[in-house]
Structure 1
Amino acid sequence: MPDYLITPAGRKIAYHLTDGSAPAVVFLGGFKSDMGGTKAVFLEDWARRQGRAFLRFDYSGHGDSSGAFTDGAIGDWYHDAQAAIGLVAGPVVLVGSSMGGWISLLLARSQPDRVAGLVTIAAAPDFTEDSMWAGATEAQRAALMTDGQIALPSEYGDPYIITRRLIEDGRDYLVLRAPLQLPFPVRFLQGTADKDVDMAVAQRLLDHAQGPDMRLTLVDGADHRFSDDACLALIADSITDVIARAER
């Protein structure tokens, strides 16, 4: 059973925290995913074997946390993540998957002194604007503004309900429009067969961000899930590399 915290906004966030050495590794999941996913559970087991502190959690409206998914937006989930990393003391290594990559960049921008390193997996910064809004038809945009929401097909099950608030709120949290300093070891991981986040997004992020130790690794044939055995091993190796470099 998960533990729970109450955020300053009153949201009830479910989490699992494994004690261990610092820096703690914090996994930030994707849009409409939860902390029971393959990558999160694999990394928890890996961290336990390493004796490394590890935190996974569900944003509000996701998994075991309170709230409805359609009531949430990027700002809410970012503030949920802020509250969650308050559960651990000292430096953290952020591991952000898809939307979690965007959230992790927001955390890194607002709390650079807390972040010892960053690993992103198919990071999707600014996707509400650059993918959802930019990719919507005029009819979809009109419906979104008039009706407050539209349904978009998903390869992962039920259609995604995209709300006007999600789009408008996202504009307050964009990270690719202004300088983005990442003053710690960073590893961006991206699959070439990802149908949700194009390789161009990873390249744009690498080109846009500024930092002393950033690398982009492309994995031929890997999809958005990035969770076969080879990909999982690469994630763990990337975290190990980031920690080793941060401790030099």
Structure 2
Amino acid sequence: MTSTSFLDLSDGRTIAYRFTPGTGPVIVFLPGYMSDMNGSKAAAVFEMARASGLPCLLFDYSGCGESPGYFGEGTLTRWTQEVLALVGALEMPDEKVVLVGSSMGGWVMLLAGLALGDRLAGLVGIAAAPDFTDWGIAQMDKAMLADGETIFEDNPYGPEPTPTHPGFWADGQANLLLEGPIAIDAPVRLLHGQRDEDVPFDISLQLAERLRSADVQVTLIKDGDHRLSRDGDIQLLLRTVAQLVLPRAAQVPSES
């Protein structure tokens, strides 16, 4: 794996990232909530890009992974700013960008994609979770967050409970997207497991309806869970990304 570099932002934030140069649209992987660039899906996309001569960017949101800061200060707006700052700071021969967003990263993917405009070459969502501060949080918990309290939920992926901080929740409510059309015209591919217990697969179907793009495809994995990190899931992800960035002759083959 490429060594970690750091980008200093003007407000004092420092963002850890890994970048492999190449030719063609840059692939940017956006992790999920409390996740980082060391995950299996991010690593697989990075290695596929490097082997194919494509530029690829991995990074950690501020307060996550190798990026310093306090996680409780993180918001969708801040983390989207960090995506755009990294894309703007790196030298890329082709200015087109393909964003790959996992879970909450799928929400950041949409916000960053809207900001990129004509630079956006495509989106790939993995159990994308736009608006989860609205549909994914009980009304009683919303009232606590509105009063400035942090809520904690059981974490199926680790021993520590998952916090939702009031600042993150309020910012999410200010960035809801599923209530109206989403002005993105680039190709979009959405992958979602039908056994996802965290993000209902109906969210990807709603998202497909809201996107303005005519080139939107939803792939449902009947036995897939939220993470979609099995070998077959990752191969599907790599083929999906390759279809957006590689000539047909160079695309990742299916497993035999």
1:224 equivalent among 218, 222, 226:
226
| Larger relative strand fraction | 1
Partner of 1:92: 97
2:106 equivalent among 89, 101, 105:
101
Return closer, same or farther for 1:221/1:65 CA change in 2, 3 Å cut-off: same
Helix, strand or coil at the partner of 1:151: strand
Instruction: Determine if the alignment matches structure 1 residue 207 to structure 2 residue 209.
Output: yes
CA apart distance, 1:114: 1.0
Contact residue 122 and residue 191 of structure 1 kept, 8 A: yes
Contact residue 184 and residue 213 of structure 2 kept, 8 A: yes
CA apart distance, 1:164: 1.2
Partner of 2:155: 154
Return closer, same or farther for 1:41/1:149 CA change in 2, 3 Å cut-off: same
CA apart distance, 1:200: 1.1
* Cα displacement string for residues 101-143 of structure 1 (whole angstroms, at most 9, x for unaligned residues): 11111111121211111111000001112212xx24x2x3443
Q: Determine the C-alpha separation between the residues in 1 that align with 2:115 and 2:177.
A: 11
CA apart distance, 1:10: 2.3
Instruction: Determine if the alignment matches structure 1 residue 116 to structure 2 residue 121.
Output: yes
Q: For residue 154 of structure 1, what is the amino acid of its counterpart?
A: N
Gaps of 5+ in 1: none
Instruction: Determine if the alignment matches structure 1 residue 82 to structure 2 residue 87.
Output: no
Q: Determine the C-alpha separation between the residues in 1 that align with 2:240 and 2:142.
A: 39
Q: For residue 180 of structure 1, what is the amino acid of its counterpart?
A: I
2:23 equivalent among 21, 24, 38:
21
Partner of 1:70: 72
* Cα displacement string for residues 60-84 of structure 1 (whole angstroms, at most 9, x for unaligned residues): 1110001111121111111111112
> Which aligned runs of 4 or more in structure 1 are off by greater than 4 angstroms?
none
Contact residue 133 and residue 172 of structure 2 kept, 8 A: yes
Structure 2 counterparts to residues 41-60 of structure 1, below 5 A: 41-60=43-62
Query: What is the Cα-based RMSD across aligned positions, in Å?
Result: 1.7
Could you tell me the TM-score, scaled by structure 2's length?
0.89
Q: Determine the C-alpha separation between the residues in 1 that align with 2:179 and 2:91.
A: 30
How many positions carry a matched residue from both structures? Answer: 242
Gaps of 5+ in 2: 248-256
Structure 2 counterparts to residues 29-48 of structure 1, below 5 A: 29-48=31-50
Contact residue 186 and residue 242 of structure 1 kept, 8 A: no
Q: Determine the C-alpha separation between the residues in 1 that align with 2:208 and 2:191.
A: 11
Q: Determine the C-alpha separation between the residues in 2 that align with 1:145 and 1:106.
A: 23
* Cα displacement string for residues 10-29 of structure 1 (whole angstroms, at most 9, x for unaligned residues): 21000000011111111001
Q: Determine the C-alpha separation between the residues in 2 that align with 1:244 and 1:17.
A: 18
Q: Determine the C-alpha separation between the residues in 2 that align with 1:159 and 1:39.
A: 23
